[in-house]
């Protein structure tokens, strides 16, 4: 079980370290009418993670002809594979990921002037369909499926992963809901800092987590 939790934690950290969700979250909170979009966006983001991870875990568990595998070894191979892919993604971010993410964020910012609450929820759901998010969610679902936990325990693992991977959305919105006025200044400072340094930090962190997963996977084999 420890290997399962370790893998899920590393997958969630890799998913949370992304400039697009946190930038969009802060833009919503700094918009003229943040209440219209913040909570729907939060609900959509977390619900999307739950759906992708949950369907992956359930679907893989009932996959016809599924072979009986050694659990620890399978979890290690999943972590190793995801680690290699994260290292490749980090290299991509170092070279030209910043331009792509900036374009996405810029398009979203233009839509916030007229977006309705349900559109924010759909946006949150949609961000879970990015390639990196799908990779990590399916890997997390596979790790849960391999362990074949009881229904209640499996549900808790899915929920825990969803909240952890969306922590970059959950934390700013929770802080803003607690004190909207006091949150404005730090949110603005964080947003400005991310526009300057966020992509580099995300690339370095993704690389570090990828290397950790590779080392961890090799060590478990």
**pLDDT of 69 over the 60 cut:** no
pLDDT score for 48: 95
Tell me the average pLDDT across 27-49.
92
pLDDT score for 23: 87
**pLDDT of 26 over the 60 cut:** yes
Q: Residue 95: which domain range?
A: 2-60+72-220
Provide the 10 A C-beta neighbour count for residue 110: 9
Q: Is residue 66 part of a domain?
A: no
pLDDT score for 177: 92
179: Cβ contacts below 8 Å, ≥ 6 apart: none
The residue among 172, 192, 168 whose CA lies nearest residue 182 is: 172
The pLDDT-based confidence of 63 (bands split at 50, 70, 90) is low
Give the count of domains, the chain. 1
Q: Is residue 15 part of a domain?
A: yes
**Do the Cβ atoms of 182 and 42 come closer than 8 Å?**
no
Q: Is residue 67 part of a domain?
A: no
Total residues belonging to the chain: 221
**Do the Cβ atoms of 142 and 78 come closer than 8 Å?**
yes
- The better pLDDT of the pair 104, 197 is held by 197
The pLDDT-based confidence of 157 (bands split at 50, 70, 90) is very high
**pLDDT of 59 over the 90 cut:** no
Q: Is residue 147 part of a domain?
A: yes
3-state secondary structure the chain: CHHHHHHHHHHHHHHHCCHHHHHHHHHHHCCCCHHHHHHHHHHHHHHHHHHHHHHHHHHHHCCCCCCCCCHHHHHHHHHHHHHHHHHHHHHHHHHHHHHHHHHHHHHHHHHCCCCCHHHHHHHHHHHHHCHHHHHHHHHHHHHHHHHCCCHHHHHHHHHHHHHHHCHHHHHHHHHHHHCHHHHHHHHHHHHHHHHHHHHHHHHHHHHHHHHHHHHHHHHHC
- The better pLDDT of the pair 212, 74 is held by 212
Task: Give the CA distances from residue 108 to residues 9, 81, 83, 112, in Å, rounded to whole numbers and listed in that order.
Answer: 29, 32, 30, 7
Q: Is residue 81 part of a domain?
A: yes
Q: Is residue 184 part of a domain?
A: yes
pLDDT score for 3: 65
Q: Is residue 65 part of a domain?
A: no
- The better pLDDT of the pair 60, 85 is held by 85
**pLDDT of 102 over the 90 cut:** no
pLDDT score for 92: 84
**Do the Cβ atoms of 23 and 198 come closer than 8 Å?**
yes
**pLDDT of 64 over the 60 cut:** no
- The pLDDT mean for the chain works out to 84
Whole-model pTM: value is: 0.84
**pLDDT of 45 over the 90 cut:** yes
pLDDT tens track for 115-152: 788 899 999 999 999 888 999 998 998 888 887 788 88
């Amino acid at each position: 079980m420890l290997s399962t939790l370790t893998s899920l934690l590393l997958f969630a950290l890799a998913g949370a370290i992304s400039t697009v969700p946190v930038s969009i979250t802060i833009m919503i909170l700094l918009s003229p009418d943040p209440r219209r979009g913040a909570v729907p966006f939060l609900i959509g983001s977390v619900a999307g993670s739950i759906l992708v991870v949950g369907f992956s875990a359930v679907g893989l568990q009932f996959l016809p002809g599924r072979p009986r595998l050694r659990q620890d070894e399978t979890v290690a191979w999943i972590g190793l594979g995801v680690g290699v892919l994260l290292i490749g993604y980090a290299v991509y971010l170092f070279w030209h990921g910043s331009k792509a993410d900036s374009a996405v964020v810029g398009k979203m910012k233009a839509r916030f002037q007229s977006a309705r609450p349900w559109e924010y929820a759909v946006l949150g759901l949609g961000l879970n369909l990015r390639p990196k998010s799908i990779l990590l969610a399916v890997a997390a679902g596979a790790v849960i499926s391999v362990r074949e936990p009881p229904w209640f325990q499996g549900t808790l693992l899915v929920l825990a992963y969803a909240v952890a991977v969306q922590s970059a959305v959950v934390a700013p919105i929770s802080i803003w809901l607690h004190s909207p006025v006091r949150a404005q200044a730090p949110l603005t400072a964080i947003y400005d800092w991310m526009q300057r340094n966020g992509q580099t930090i995300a690339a370095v962190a993704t690389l570090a987590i990828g290397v950790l997963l590779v080392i961890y996977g090799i060590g478990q084999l």
